[in-house]
């Protein structure tokens, strides 16, 4: 792929983003390709080295705040006619209530998901605390000449610590998964705003 084809394809993928952002990114990649050509790469090699246009466009979209994208989309809209304003006002008791209900459900689901993550971390902390406390009490029992009870407490403490390590892994991967899901949802919302309007 030539530099020109790469830049045209990238511009096409970034339609709907603020114009100054698109121009800035295109200039950046154009200069990057020119620098590589000066270093001895062919245009095609330089373009291949930069990466896939789809991956680059997704990265650019994920970096631009949703507010900028929404503002650009709103500014591009045509003027609303008076009959449309009347229809919006008359229908507002219905659509506004439905919108609030929908957003409330989405927010509740998101909060519930993070509540589960927080609970997992709380279980991890409890297991680790119980494990150390049981080991400490077990050692104290051993010094107080209650060896069997001390060994039972130390064993219970080690079991708690083992489960605590397991719970750490579960909590860690659940947190990473939730953050990744959040990023993907944000990217999907941004893509909805920049989706090309079909004729």
pLDDT in tens, 72-120: 665 555 577 777 778 778 888 888 889 899 989 989 998 999 999 999 9
Cα–Cα distance list, 43 to 40, 85, 142, 145, 161 (Å): 9, 52, 75, 80, 57
119 vs 185, residue with greater confidence: 119
197 vs 8, residue with greater confidence: 8
User: What pLDDT, on the 0 to 100 scale, is given for residue 66?
Assistant: 67
When the pLDDT of each residue in the chain is averaged and rounded to a whole number, the result is 84
Q: What is the mean pLDDT of residues 62-66?
A: 74
User: What pLDDT, on the 0 to 100 scale, is given for residue 99?
Assistant: 87
Q: Say whether pLDDT at 178 is over 80.
A: yes
Residue 193 pLDDT grade (very low, low, confident, very high; cuts 50, 70, 90): low
Percent with pLDDT over 70 in the chain? 90
Q: Is the pTM of this model over 0.75?
A: no
Burial, 29: exposed, middle or buried (Cβ in 10 Å; 0-12, 13-18, 19+)? buried
Q: Say whether pLDDT at 196 is over 60.
A: no
């Amino acid at each position: 792929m030539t530099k020109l084809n790469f830049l045209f394809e990238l511009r096409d993928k970034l339609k709907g983003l603020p114009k100054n952002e698109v121009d800035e990114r295109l200039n950046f990649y154009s200069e990057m390709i020119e620098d590589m050509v000066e270093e001895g790469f062919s245009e095609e090699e330089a373009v291949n080295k930069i990466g896939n246009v789809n991956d680059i466009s997704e990265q650019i979209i994920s970096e631009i705040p949703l507010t900028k994208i929404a503002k650009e989309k709103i500014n591009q809209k045509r003027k609303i006619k008076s009959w449309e304003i009347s229809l919006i006002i008359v229908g507002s008791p219905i659509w506004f209530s439905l919108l609030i209900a929908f957003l409330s459900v989405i927010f509740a689901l998101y909060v519930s998901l993070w509540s589960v993550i927080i609970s997992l971390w709380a279980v991890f902390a409890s297991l680790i605390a119980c494990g150390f406390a049981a080991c400490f009490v077990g050692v104290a029992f051993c010094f107080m000449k209650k060896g069997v009870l001390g060994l039972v407490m130390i064993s219970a403490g080690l079991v708690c610590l083992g489960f605590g390590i397991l719970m750490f892994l579960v909590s860690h991967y659940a947190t990473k998964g939730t953050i990744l899901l959040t990023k993907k949802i944000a990217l999907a919302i941004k893509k909805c705003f920049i989706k090309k309007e079909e004729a």
